[in-house]
Structure 1
Amino acid sequence: SDKIVLKMYRAYEVPRQQYFHLYNLIEELSQNAKLPMPKVYMMENSSPNAFATGRDPKHACVCVTKGLLQLLEENELKGVISHELAHVKNRDTLIMTVTASIAGAIMLLANIARWSAILGGGRGGRRGSGNLIGLIVMSIIAPIAALIVQLAISRSREYGADASGARIAKDSKGLAQALNKLSQTSKYKKLEANPQTAHLFIVNPLKGNTIASLFSTHPPIKERIARLSAMKIQ
């Protein structure tokens, strides 16, 4: 659930009086998107990133890291917040939170299968060997299945949220500039993220090599920036 995700990252709800400017910004953009004001959460992390969660617009939360507020200019921050509000408006928050739960459940089953294979050994003769092989196969296939579930849902919805977010902010350049900054800065300011919830963030918090990037839950940053740069906002 959304509460589990927020607790996982030790996010806390911030008071309006402490982050008055951030609240005003989110309130303005929520009005542009014709959405209720979401709850505002903060992560004590220097890595710039953000995500939205919640089962529907009335129960939505937008969470940002301290690093995000420190790094971005106002038009760039508007772009990021608008992207997250687009997820809320498009009901992606429910779908992506459920996806995270499904992926987590699949990984749990994979771990159970792996430990059953290790602890069970080859007991039971031929039948036991067959069960052991089945458990090993499941422990290999399950994580792949979890990744495929996330890939199928996350990439297309990120492109959609970029486009919708640009329209909410009435500007595509701010988000494009923000994505470039986030991509560069997150290389050396890392966020310890759970692989099953990585798809919730605006940029992938997980680091990997070129081959690993092919299986990223996020579309390539360069492609996202190119699409935003080609947009004409009226």
Structure 2
Amino acid sequence: MTTGLLRRLEPAELEGVLAHELSHVRHKDVAVITIASFLGVLAGLVVRFAFYSQVFGGGRRDQNTAAVFAAVLGVSAAVYAISFLLIRALSRYRELAADRAAALLTGRPSALAAALTKVSGEIARIPSEDLRTAQAFNAFYFTPATGREPGVERFFSTHPSLEQRLEQLGRISAELGEAAAPGKAG
């Protein structure tokens, strides 16, 4: 909890944010993502090792060795790229699951929706130059430290779009019989 969140959010909104984060803890999301990332990390290390061995290894290689080397490098690079995209998709899914768990736990999906809207709106107003150092820490926030995600960028995001999150919370709100979430017509 930061003092900024404490100042900006109402108690029900803070409860929704805490329920979201506790859902990540309860469902061991950090461990899940870490385990799921293993193959991609391993492939990335193979690519890096191959690159550095080629640059610093020196020595002469025959044609068969070069073909095997190129094949290993190509497969490892492909595994890394596919793993990268799949981990991002898994992370977006886990974020939506944490939103759903928080909404059901608190019984007030509209409070979490209001918190997401407030925080996302304020983050979008921060200049992008100031956010470059925050990008590595996106995994530690319940909303990403970026603005809108047009086009292909959504595949590289660790969090679903605000619109997608609000839409899901609106459906949960309807299921629970709660008043419509902010920004949704009831």
Distance 1:112 1:204, change over 3 A: farther
Equivalent of residue 164 in structure 2, options 187, 202, 223: 223
Q: Provide the rounded CA distance (Å) in 1 between the counterparts of 2:59 and 2:78.
A: 20
For the aligned residues, what is the CA RMSD? 3.2
Corresponding residue to 2:66 among 122, 125, 129: 129
Listed as ranges, the matches of 1:136-155 within 5 Å are 136-138=73-75, 140-155=77-92
TM-score, normalised relative to structure 1: 0.58
Identity %: 27
Q: Given the alignment of the two structures, is residue 177 of structure 1 paired with residue 114 of structure 2, yes or no?
A: yes
Which residue is equivalent to 2:183? none
Shift of 1:101: 5.6
| 1:153 to partner: Cα distance | 2.4
Q: Which has the higher helix share?
A: 2
1:168 and 2:105 are equivalent in the alignment: yes
**Amino acid of the residue matched to residue 165 of structure 2?**
R
Query: Which one scores higher on RCO, CA 8 angstroms, separation ≥ 6?
Result: 2
From the superposition, tell whether residues 99 and 77 of structure 1 become closer, same or farther in structure 2 (CA, over 3 Å).
farther
Q: Gaps (5+ residues) in structure 2?
A: 178-186
The whole-number CA distance in structure 2 between the counterparts of 1:69 and 1:101 is 36
Q: C-alpha deviations, 1:149-172, integer Å up to 9, x for none?
A: 413422222222111101222211
More strand by share: 1
Q: 1:75 aligns with which of 12, 17, 22?
A: 12
- Given the superposition, is the C-alpha separation of residues 192 and 134 from structure 1 closer, same or farther in structure 2, using an over 3 Å criterion? farther
2:44 and 2:77 in contact (8 A); partners too:
no
Of structures 1 and 2, the larger Rg is shown by: 2
Distance 1:173 1:219 in 2: 17
**What TM-score does the superposition give when structure 2 sets the normalisation length?**
0.69
- 8 Å Cα contact 2:40-2:79 kept in structure 1: no
Unpaired segments of 5 or more residues in structure 1? 1-63
